[in-house]
Chains A and B, each alone.
Chain A
Amino acid sequence: MSALLVLALTVPLLGLVPLLLAGPRVGERAALAVLAIGAGLCVAVGVAVALSGRALQYFVAGLAPPLGIGLRADGFSAAMMGMSALVLALTAFYAMRAPGAGAPRMPPAFFMLLLALASALNLAFLAQDLFTLYVALELLTFAAVPLVCLDGKPGQLRAAMTYLMFALFGSVLYLLGVVLVYGQFGTLDFARLSAALALAPPGWSFGAALALMSAGLMAKAALFPLHLWLPPAHAGAPPAASAVLSAVVIKAPLFLLVRLWADLAPVPMAQAAAPVLAICGAGAILVCGVVALAQVRLKLLIAYSTAAQIGYLGLMFPLAAGADAYWSALAWTGGTLHLVSHAFSKAAMFMAAGLIAEVFGHDRLAGLKGAARVAPLSIAAFGIGGLSLLGLPPSGGFTAKVMLLTSALQQGAWWIGVVVLAGGLLAGGYVLRLLVLALQRPEDGTLPAARECGWRAGIALALAFGAVALGFLPLAPLGFLSIGRPIAWEGLAP
């Protein structure tokens, strides 16, 4: 069973071989097949975790930490792995060479980067020591930056450069934090660190280490006010690339942020830091949400919506660090569910935006009147994905919002509830803006002669329905997500 973890890391890399050796046509199909197998593996990990009720763990070369590297999948990791692998596989399918002549061609490099992302993401979700995680984050950054500038346009290059520089800035801070932790504890392994932290209360240097690592992660996740690179990078990339960047790539640093503060940091420390993260989250939701309303281009609108939506995770921290076990578990479930459902809906929305832009030849909102006539499936995918952002039932976004609201209410955190509601209003504004325009008739009565590419719109629609399907989870803490918490190596000799 635990070999699944290694396979999840290595199988995507196998797909690089045909891409490098065979022609692009064969290579693409091989990449798609490998990503599909990877998705199957991730789902298998989830099933194994759910069936056994325990975390899966694996020691590379049979050596336990601190000598060896340990991989561990608990419920939270398994959920993130399953989500990201599904989105990556569907994106590869979306980017396949379309039979139609008008569809853009994604170069073989795109598929290589996708495979590298799959491996790096799984490493980030599975690794259990701070240095391996650093490696995973760097791999992720170096796979994501070229995605931004695949077409090599000047704007894209500038955006990619900003992204790279800022992410590296974040890496430096993260690495500084790692050094501080190592100096204090002599280990970087999560389980050993938590054991050491349980023995003695940590000093200020551990707090400083956590702060440095968090700031680095927030820079890589583009959490407000560190979002300078996100809008140009996500809006400028080709649609298939934007979909993975917005849906899954920024989720890895957010996942680690949750790991650090919810699983590693002692509770008093987490409670003290939580308001700062929540204020950043609130700023993201409110400022980026309003700025999204002011955009005139569809892809920029979606990119700002991403910058706004990740704020909900920031709002989760004070609620999840609360004293009451049930309400904090509910907030934790809500935050995680939001991460996952946002991934599905955002991938769907970027794909839909790409198809709409193919039909119209641009993505200026004012010129998209009548889009519902020429690209009905894409508009449906955008709308259904958007319903989740709006928080309308049934959707993962609705369930997540109700969980966060309930938890905020029960813990007396009124202001968080108000921000969640305001975020829903703003999301309503930027999602419905396109839908309203799409239903109108263009003033001059002319519509583009081209039609949307049906099967690719179908993929976007499938992702959107993925977000809807998440709405059928019960409105209660999800047991699956707490499998394997707190972090510990099971069956490891002391």
Chain B
Amino acid sequence: MSGFLTTPPLPISVAPEALLLLAIAAPLALALAMLAPGLRRLVPRLLILAPLPALVAAVAVPRGMSVLVAPYPFRFTLALDGSGALLLGGAALLWMAAGAYACAYMRKDPARGAFATWWALTMAGSFAVFLVADVASFYLAYALVSFSAFGLVTHDDTPEARRAGNLYLALTVLGEAFLIAAFVMLASGTSEANPLIRDAVAALPTSPFRSAIVLLLLAGFTLKMGLFPLHVWMPLAHAVAPVPGSAALSGVVVKAGVIGLLRFLPDGVALPGWGEALTAVGIFTAFYGVALGVTQTHPKRALAYSTVSQMGVVGAVIGAALASGLPGAFPIAAFYAVNHMLLKGAMFLVAGLAMASAPARARQAALIAGVLGLSLAGLPFTGGALAKYAIKIVVPDGIAGFLLTLSAVGSALLMARYAVLVTASGKERQTPPGGILLPALALAALALAVPFALFAPVTGLPLAAAFSGDALAKGVWPVALGLALAGLLAWRRWPLPEVPAGDILHAMGPLAALWRHTLDLAVAADARLRRWPVAATALIALAALLAVVAR
């Protein structure tokens, strides 16, 4: 572990402490500027610049730096570690490119001001989750990024968007309840009411509530990551959000769940049982996402299922690290997540470009889409191959390792499907809004290049290691097999029944009926209790009961 994770590559003249704070404050200031009518017109243009302090902070602030922003009783602390810096830097790049894209894409939208506000708030929350170091501030930051993203999901205000937004909101509130319970139990292991996350996690392995805490943490954070069976919001939300919003959701917002797991689970300490369980769920999700993704007919929904699948891989990596207790594995999971972050962001922007273009231009976009997809599947000599190589360090050969390699076959298949859908998504006589091409291309280029810069510092291995003959052979066959499968599917024209987005949600009809029944029951009970004779009897009975027990 050296380089990026431990020492700053650049000397900086700004106070690094201020930079950490500014990373969060800049987008927040932008959101507040929406309150001033004079500044309102400027805000959408400034969306590109707001992530700049975060980017500089990720590159230049020394790892391990921590700032106590507000002392007791708040204990608002910011800190930058290896995993946080990786995700912060990646997120800043994505927010910049997607911000430029959004600025052009939404130019004619009358509600672009509202979109910019949600955008800035989500951005501030996403930077904050990567930076805060105390438990209460993490909860606040997590709530900020989660609830603000609702505005991105429902921006178009169509019936589908409303439905997706409601589901997203309901699950977010549920996730918050899981997390607050876990955090209260975690904090009870320390002497502080609001401990540093590090201290709270150090007390986790010996906590009497260990199983409950880990279960609640996994439920809360995998919900955000979209691991089965809590993935149901993702395909719905990603499909209905405006294109740059989907890029931010799929790229950054789901990573709030990843950083949550990385921050709140102990790095280098084995949690037997839980690690294996998370690996199993992750691997199942990786295949499940692919299986449902290939049946989709809309490129954005296919991408959403691909995110589900890829987050399954991240979950499996974290699970493997927990199972073995291998120290230093978490930054590798973060590296894989950053690779996915940039690629998926670029894929959404390219899909949006194609959807707004004429068929000829859409076919050109599909070419870029294909390259990005091959990288995600891990074709040798791409950035994605480096990420796949890195996770092999954590997940050694064995059943889990083999299944993860096999999931790359699925990724290649799904990415081929995505490229085909992008090809077909152009429509005659339409031209894309000016200014969306450049950000999409820039993000695509970054997505392909950035892993090369990060690989050596994160893994501590030379780049050449990933290009050895053995590694190449292991990288090629899954992609080749996946593409062959895709070709077979296309050639035989097997009709795949399209699974409606939200899949198992549609099997939850009985649950909805149960809820309606509960609602009716409560209303009926309330009506009965509020009748005079009942209430008067209850009053007397209550007095008698209290008198009996308080004897």
What is the interface of chain A, defined by CB distance below 8 A to chain B? 162, 166, 169-170, 173, 204, 207-208, 210-212, 214-216, 218-219, 224-228, 231, 265, 269, 272-273, 275-276, 280, 287-288, 290-291, 293-294, 390-394, 401-402, 405-406, 409-410, 417, 421-422, 424-425, 428-429, 432, 436, 439-441, 472-476
Contact = CB atoms under 8 A, between A and B. Distances in A.
A208 B519 contact: no
Which 7 A/B pairs are nearest by Cβ-Cβ distance?
A474-B73, A475-B193, A211-B546, A215-B543, A211-B547, A428-B173, A228-B530
Contacts of A393: 136, 139-140, 143
B312 to A, nearest CB: 27
A80 B55 CA distance: 48
Interface string B511-546: 000000011001101100111100110111011111
A402 B174 contact: no
B360 interface: no
Contacts of A272: 549-551
B112 interface: no
B165 interface: yes
A475 B194 contact: yes
Given A394-B140, A428-B173, A441-B157, A476 B193 contact: yes
A224 B539 CA distance: 10
B176 A294 contact: no
Query: How large, as a class, is the contact surface on chain B?
Result: 35 or more
A492 B530 CA distance: 47
B532 A474 contact: no
B522 A294 contact: yes
Contacts of A405: 180-181, 184
Contacts of B157: 440-441
Contacts of B402: none
A290 B174 contact: no
A264 B188 CA distance: 31
B106 interface: no
A445 B362 CA distance: 34
Interface string B160-177: 001001100110011011
B522 A228 contact: no
B522 A287 contact: yes
A439 B539 CA distance: 42
Which has the most chain A C-beta neighbours within 10 Å: B151, B531, B540, B551? B551
Which has the most chain A C-beta neighbours within 10 Å: B140, B187, B549? B549
A225 B546 contact: no
Contacts of B72: 474
29 contacts: A204-B551, A208-B547, A214-B543, A214-B546, A219-B539, A225-B535, A226-B535, A226-B539, A226-B542, A269-B550, A287-B525, A287-B526, A287-B529, A291-B523, A294-B519, A392-B140, A393-B139, A405-B184, A409-B184, A421-B180, A425-B173, A425-B177, A432-B169, A440-B157, A441-B157, A472-B74, A473-B73, A474-B73, A475-B194
Contacts of A215: 539-540, 542-543, 546
B57 to A, nearest CB: 24
B545 A425 contact: no
B406 interface: no
Instruction: Identify whether the interface residues of A are mostly helix, strand, loop, or mixed.
Output: helix
B279 interface: no
B524 to A, nearest CB: 10
Contacts of A406: 184, 187-188, 193
A430 to B, nearest CB: 11
Instruction: Identify whether the interface residues of B are mostly helix, strand, loop, or mixed.
Output: helix
Contact of A276 (B173, B193, B549): B549
Given A393-B143, A417-B181, A436-B166, A210 B550 contact: yes
A439 B543 contact: no
Which has the most chain A C-beta neighbours within 10 Å: B136, B184, B185, B525? B184
B154 interface: yes
Contacts of A432: 169, 173
Interface in B330-349: none
B196 to A, nearest CB: 14
A207 B529 contact: no
Nearest to A475: B193
Contacts of A441: 157
Contact of B169 (A224, A275, A422, A436): A436
Contacts of A473: 73
B136 to A, nearest CB: 6
Nearest to A410: B188
A196 B238 CA distance: 68
Contact of A211 (B151, B154, B543): B543
Given A228-B535, A393-B140, A472-B73, A212 B547 contact: yes
A402 B542 contact: no
B66 to A, nearest CB: 21
B538 A276 contact: no
B543 A401 contact: no
A231 B544 CA distance: 26
Contacts of B185: 409
Which has the most chain B C-beta neighbours within 10 Å: A224, A228, A394, A432? A228
Nearest to B194: A475
A327 B96 CA distance: 48
B522 A291 contact: yes
B535 A424 contact: no
Given A162-B532, A214-B543, A215-B540, 13 more contacts: A210-B547, A211-B544, A211-B550, A225-B529, A276-B542, A287-B525, A290-B523, A392-B140, A417-B184, A421-B181, A429-B173, A436-B169, A474-B73
A240 B17 CA distance: 47
Contacts of B539: 169-170, 173, 215, 218-219, 226
A41 to B, nearest CB: 28
A227 B143 CA distance: 33
A393 B529 CA distance: 35
